Each structure stands twice: as structure tokens, then as C-alpha cells.
Amino acid sequence: MLGTGVMIGAGIFALTGQMAQMTGALFPLAFLAAAVIVSFSAYSYIKISNTWPSAGGIGMYLHKAYGNRLPTAFNALLMYFSMVIAQSFLARTFGSYTMQLFGGDESGGMVPILGVSLILVAFLVNLQGNRMIQGVASFIGVLKIGGILIFGLVGLWIADSISVDFSSPGDAGAAGNFLGATALGILAFKGFTTITNSGSEVKDPKRNVGRAIVISIAACVVIYTLVGFAVASNLSLAEIIETRDYSLAAAARPALGEYAVWFTVAIAMMATAGGILASIFAVSRMLAMLTEMKLVPHRHFGMPGSIQKHTLVYTVALGLILTAFFDLSRIAALGIVFYLIMDIAIHWGVLRYLREDVQAKAWVPAIAILLDLLVLGGFVWLKLNTDPFVIGVAVVTMIAIAVVEQIFLKKSENSRQSGHEKPHEHNH
């Protein structure tokens, strides 16, 4: 439920329209292509979690492969930032859908305000502790998965014909655009990685973490395919692109009128709120673990409480800034670049260092790396032609992370060595 909940929260509500804008009528196929790539990706995560289940999730996986070195810290922080970006993506999606109850957001000012408000509420719930979060997230998860299934089935049932016009994908049908849309589709599935954080809480984790990953990806493939065809059958391509930030609500309107819009908006609000709640919880835990492993710098800034409370504050503050100042397509672009680079590092770690420990077959992570490189290349090429600024931001951010981490790890190593030397000199 946790994995499926995070996936559905991030993906389906805002990505459908953006993918249609990139690749025309082929967007349901881009979702399926993303599912194939994620299936290869999941293999490495399942193999490591079966061998070393832990609450550390991806941070621990990277540490097993690369040790206390720059690749571990750099890629773990890329994952951290991609998850914070996903929260901002959810928050703005929440704002876009909520405003459909009031006829849209002509001024463009209310969407970020609603998004920021949602993150603050999720922060307050997270301060209450684990049990509260798990209870709320599970309840919302059941409601939204049921609701989206109803949307997909009813949408297909009342459509004049279940058809997607693949014969005329339009100008957007080029291979680069399809790869770009597939990369965005991967964002709709990457929530499965949050399951890796539950290794210390699940019964029989060596068996069940991997099974949960497979089940949640399979469930999302079914749900996304249903919804993709329901949207494509009820809206023209031009309408899907025009309403790209809230295309599910727009698809409900011609089919079932305003009540259906309210129903869809209610599911979207629950899905995004539940996704943010679970994501803030997982991300702040991951940053706290990296801090305790002495892999990232940490400042208290005079705050009381545990390290995890501090990392919760940092995570929320960063999410608020992104939500306030970046639009949906740019937030998604940053998230996918960071995620794919981190994903490649995980597969390379399995291939190069962990293959015998986790008993993995070499060809699966090798194919996963090739597929990741293919979609990353297509996506970057597309964005360089349409929005080079966002690729510039991604590159500058990655260089900054690498430089700061290299300096920090060097200092930590020097202080450790001098710490060893002092008692040694004293003994003499």
C-alpha cells in the first residue's frame, strides 16, 4: 500500500497531460514503456533488499556498493533531492486540481499557495510520529486506489469508443519525444523505491520487500493503463495538452458532468496529500541516516530535538521553496534527471561490486543501465531544445553537491585520522 500509494500520488494526476504534450497520442504506450524499464530496474533493488533488508533503503544500498566514499554520498543526495522534488510536484498538483472546484486558477497565484499550505500540514502530521503517519497514509491509500480504479473503469465504460489514434501521433511523435515521455513515465513508478525503507518493519523482509515491489509495480501498470485509455477516449489530444496539469478532472467533465469533476478532484487531493505525507516521512529518515553515517554535513541552527526532527525541517523548507517558485514541468524534469543518474549508480554497484553477494545475474542490471541511459539521453536532448534552463539548473546542482561532498568527506577523513594519531602520540 505504501509503494502503490506513493506511486499513484506522484504519477498519474499531473504526468498524463505532460506526456501527451511530448509524444502525442502515443502517451499510453509511453506509460507501458516506462513500466518495462522500471521492471528491469526493480531487479537490483529486490536482490539487495533480499540480502540486506534495512530501514536505510537506498542510502544503505549505495553504502554497501561504494562504502564511505563520494559515489555513496553524491547519489544518495541525488535520490534525496529527487524525492523532495516529487513532494513539490505533488503539492503543485494538489493546487491545480483543487482550483478546478473554483473554475481554475487564471491568476496563477493560488496553486503555489495551496501547495505550500499542504506541505505545512503534512509537516505538522509528521511531527506527531510514525503511528499517526502510517495510519493516515494507509487509510488514504485504500480510498485513492479504489477511487482511481472507479475513474478508469467508468471512463472506459461511458466512452463512445475505447480507441487511441496511434496512426497520427503528430509532430510530437519523434523518437526523442517518445523517450522523453517515457522518462516522465518513470517518475510515475519510482515510488516503489520507498518500499526499500521498510526492511526493518516488515515480517520476513528477505521475502516480502521484494514481493511488495513486484506487486506495487504490477498494480500501477494496470491502473495507469486504465486511466490512460480513459483519458484518451474522452478528450481530444489538444484538450489533454491544454488541461495538462489537471487532465483527469477535465476527462471526467464531458463524460459525467460536474459531479465527476468533484469526485476526481477529491481523489487527486487525497492522493497528493497522502503521497506527500509518506514521502516527507521516508525522505527525512533517509537524510537522518546519511547524517548519522557521517556522509553529509549537518547543522542544528539552534533547533532542539533529534537529528530526524532537524532533517524533517530541512526537507520541508526545501520543498516549500521549490513549490513556490518552480512550475510542474520543470519540477518533473529535475526529478527525473536526478533519479535516473542515481538509478544507474545502483545498477553499476550491483554489477561491479555486489553481484556475487546478492546472487544477481549480470545481464539484468546491464540492460537496466542501457535503458536508463537511453531515456535519460532522449529526455536531456528534448529539454535542451525546449527548456535548456532546467538542464542548466540540474548540472549546476550536481556539480555543487559533488564539490561540497568532496570537501566534507576530505575534512571528515582528516579529522578521523588526526583523532587516531593523538592518542597514539600520547602513548609514546
Supply the CATH number for residue 90's domain.
1.20.1740.10
In a domain, 244, yes or no: yes
**How confident is the model at residue 365, as a pLDDT?**
96
**How confident is the model at residue 164, as a pLDDT?**
54
Distance between CA atoms of 278 and 270, rounded to whole angstroms? 12
Number of domains in the chain: 1
Residue 354 DSSP class: I
In a domain, 424, yes or no: no
In a domain, 57, yes or no: yes
- Indicate whether 266 pLDDT > 80: yes
In a domain, 419, yes or no: no
The least confident of 200-204, 277-281, 300-304 is 300-304
Report how far apart the first and last C-alpha atoms of the chain are (Å, whole number): 60
Distance between CA atoms of 255 and 158, rounded to whole angstroms? 7
Name, in order, each residue with C-beta under 8 angstroms of 214's C-beta and a sequence gap of 6 or more.
42, 46
In a domain, 301, yes or no: no
pTM for the model: 0.84
**How confident is the model at residue 11, as a pLDDT?**
62
Model confidence over 73-120: pLDDT tens digits? 999 999 889 888 888 888 888 888 888 888 777 667 888 899 999 999
In a domain, 365, yes or no: yes
Distance between CA atoms of 148 and 150, rounded to whole angstroms? 5
**How confident is the model at residue 134, as a pLDDT?**
67
- Indicate whether 166 pLDDT > 80: no
The least confident of 268-272, 317-321, 357-361 is 268-272
Asked if residues 276 and 9 have their Cβ atoms less than 8 Å apart, the reply is yes
Asked if residues 151 and 263 have their Cβ atoms less than 8 Å apart, the reply is yes
In a domain, 428, yes or no: no
Distance between CA atoms of 304 and 325, rounded to whole angstroms? 29
In a domain, 229, yes or no: yes
Structural domain including 236 reads 1-294+307-413
**3-class DSSP state of 329:** helix
Q: Mark out the alpha helices in 130-246 (DSSP H runs).
A: 130-158, 175-187, 205-234, 237-242
- Going by pLDDT thresholds of 50, 70 and 90, the confidence category of residue 377 is very high
Using CA of residue 188, residue 110, residue 140, residue 143, what is the dihedral sign? Answer: negative
**3-class DSSP state of 52:** coil
